[in-house]
Chains A and B, each alone.
Chain A
Amino acid sequence: APRPHKPTVVVFPGELRTNLTDKELAEEYLFRYGYTHVAELSNDKQSLSRGLRLLQRRLALPETGELDKTTLEAMRAPRCGVPDLGK
């Protein structure tokens, strides 16, 4: 059977936020919408998991603390720009 060709991903000029990794997307999202603060941004798994758990609870998603498919889909959904937490 024909093998599906590997999709080529292109950088489109003028577009912001191109080709972020899932982790980069998550970190940027958690910070933008008030789930983590600059001080907490660090590489340890704990801080990311803490932020994810907060988000999952706030958005009524399954609370796994993991960057799972459901959470990633939620982060890619069109939404309002007002932060979910904080002032």
Chain B
Amino acid sequence: FQTFEGDLKWHHRDITYWIQNYSEDLPRDVIDDAFARAFAVWSAVTPLTFTRVYGPEADILIQFGVREHGDGYPFDGKNGLLAHAFPPGPGIQGDAHFDDEELWTLGKGVVVPTHFGNADGAPCHFPFTFEGRSYSACTTDGRSDDTPWCSTTADYDTDRRFGFCPSEKLYTQDGNGDGKPCVFPFTFEGRSYSTCTTDGRSDGYRWCSTTANYDQDKLFGFCPTRVDSAVTGGNSAGEPCVFPFIFLGKQYSTCTREGRGDGHLWCATTSNFDRDKKWGFCPDQGYSLFLVAAHEFGHALGLDHSSVPEALMYPMYSFTEGPPLHEDDVKGIQHLYGPRPEPQPQPPTAQPTAPPTVCATGPPTTRPSERPTAGPTGPPAAGPTGPPTAGPSEAPTVPVDPAEDICKVNIFDAIAEIRNYLHFFKEGKYWRFSKGKGRRVQGPFLITDTWPALPRKLDSAFEDQLTKKTFFFSGRQVWVYTGTSVVGPRRLDKLGLGPEVTQVTGALPQGGGKVLLFSRQRFWSFDVKTQTVDPRSAGSVEQTYPGVPLNTHDIFQYQEKAYFCQDRFYWRVNSRNEVNQVDEVGYVTFDILQCP
């Protein structure tokens, strides 16, 4: 292994990272997960911990860029140079940059999330067979409404599992069109458009009008990228191939290697390359963002390139599905930071009191058509037939090691008041806190000990006082626990939240079975009984809660007050006399948890 000259390394263990922007090649939650797993590769063999923050004060800044992207080390278009990173230190040191002219995948081809259909949002499976024909991209075949779809298994003819592919016919992203789909044709500067366009923009993003007349209504949205058929690199990235196209006088109706010496498949994005010279590379397996990130984070922690071809720190990319770390990598990183401390054995401690449980042998409580299904993130939910869980089992109330000390956590995944305890969730664990008991904190407990179906990373949670149902949100999925009985994961669509809502960042119960659900700067009124939001109730945080930051990542209610969290801080809002007013700002750990 090699380290940088002078053994450059971090001199603290709790490393922070900030994902500054995103590639359009992968869904954002897949990118977040890939980076989190890439850091976990290193935290598994060192005392280091990695915490995500949302600002430039982070130790490691992660950025996607093309060509010259601001550091004097330009990227080189598709293939060749994939990414680079700087050794530990202040400023740009420790940062990792990824070439956005590459096609970022998980190493096995494009990842296309689906919407609606019957596959619960599972990604497309390419290739898939439909009526005996093989497809390696979304298709409108078999549909009269021209909406692109795909199979989520290898064989649609036998499995019948399908979903719709991202398409401007289904929705748009951002802009001010409220996520509505494009309206074609639409009029822009007097001209009629029947497809998305980059006209009028200098950043190259494809957009459309969400009404028939943009000149008049000024309502627009950005068109989802069709990664399954869009080209990368070349001079028209993001555009779809046009078949057939003319190249050197010959007609091509599939991607071709003709004219290239490097063997990469390409296509034209207009019908005549000889005339228009518009082209790009066709989708291929792409590069695994997880593996490349794990390599670059090795640099960001102080490792230089290795000469061992099987090592993660060898400079050349090669795809593997096995554990990425080689012995050489482990020796190198432990030379800098030492091994991961083993947890110390602890004496048994008193059993915490158990929450009320529902008899586990009752019938399934979900309607047949709502039977919990395997979501893209996990196995079928255990449901009521799982073993009864009488609260956290065996977890000590004394932290096992410093990394589990709640006072060391900067930012929590979610905070919610459940059964009069304030619960703090973080990376698969949670703590319980109650002011009433002399500000004692209990935990950490394993989330899965109490709520087996839940994923490791939560976005928010709330308990409905009337029905005692507890709702948990993660990405675009929701779980509803009533005692130990669970319904979910279900998609947010079932609650009436459209695909543009990528996560639920918080909830404020309003009484009477109504709860405000928040997603970044917007919120909706949710009816706990019907379990749907009222689409007309959409509101803006900025207007309704003046004074709180706009990029809060967790919102919860505690003892009748609303808390808006951003980074390590909270803004407390008092709603006396129908006026929302910030009446306190403080640290979550110092002012709520009273950490020393």
Binding site for B on A (CB under 8 A): 7-10, 12-17, 19, 33, 57-60, 74, 76-82, 84, 87
CB atoms of A81 and B83 under 8 A apart = yes
Interchain CB contact (< 8 A) of A81 among B73, B261, B309 = B73
28 example contacts (A-B, Cβ-Cβ < 8 A) are as follows A8-B258, A8-B259, A12-B234, A12-B235, A13-B279, A14-B234, A16-B76, A16-B77, A58-B305, A59-B315, A77-B317, A78-B79, A78-B81, A78-B287, A78-B317, A79-B80, A79-B315, A79-B316, A79-B317, A80-B81, A80-B82, A80-B315, A81-B83, A81-B84, A82-B84, A82-B299, A84-B305, A84-B315
Assembly CA distance A85 to B91 (angstroms) = 23
Q: Which residues of B contact A74 (CB under 8 A)?
A: 316
CB atoms of A78 and B261 under 8 A apart = no
Chain A proximity mask over B58-89: 1 for CB below 8 Å, otherwise 0? 00000000000000010111011111110000
Q: Which residues of B contact A9 (CB under 8 A)?
A: 259-261
Q: Which residues of A contact B314 (CB under 8 A)?
A: 59
Q: Which residues of B contact A59 (CB under 8 A)?
A: 307, 309, 314-316
The smallest beta-carbon distance between A75 and chain B, in angstroms, is 10
The residue of chain A having its C-beta at the shortest distance from the C-beta of B235 within the complex is A14
The residue of chain A having its C-beta at the shortest distance from the C-beta of B266 within the complex is A12
Q: A78-B287, A81-B75 are in contact. Are A60 and B316 (CB under 8 A)?
A: no
Q: Which residues of B contact A76 (CB under 8 A)?
A: 262
CB of B296 closer than 8 Å to a CB of A: yes
Q: Which residues of B contact A8 (CB under 8 A)?
A: 248, 258-259
Chain A proximity mask over B301-341: 1 for CB below 8 Å, otherwise 0? 00011011100001111000000000000000000000000
Interface size class of B (residues with CB under 8 A): 35 or more
Assembly CA distance A76 to B73 (angstroms) = 19
Assembly CA distance A69 to B587 (angstroms) = 61
CB atoms of A12 and B305 under 8 A apart = no
The smallest beta-carbon distance between B468 and chain A, in angstroms, is 53
Q: Which residues of A contact B5 (CB under 8 A)?
A: 87
Binding site for A on B (CB under 8 A): 4-5, 73, 75-77, 79-85, 102, 233-235, 248, 258-262, 266, 277, 279, 287, 292, 295-296, 299, 304-305, 307-309, 314-317
Interchain CB contact (< 8 A) of A60 among B75, B102, B304, B309 = B309
Q: Which residues of B contact A33 (CB under 8 A)?
A: 315
CB atoms of A7 and B305 under 8 A apart = no
The smallest beta-carbon distance between A9 and chain B, in angstroms, is 5
The smallest beta-carbon distance between B513 and chain A, in angstroms, is 55
Q: Which residues of A contact B307 (CB under 8 A)?
A: 57-60
Q: Which one of B80, B81, B314 has the highest number of Cβ atoms from chain A below 10 Å of its Cβ?
A: B80
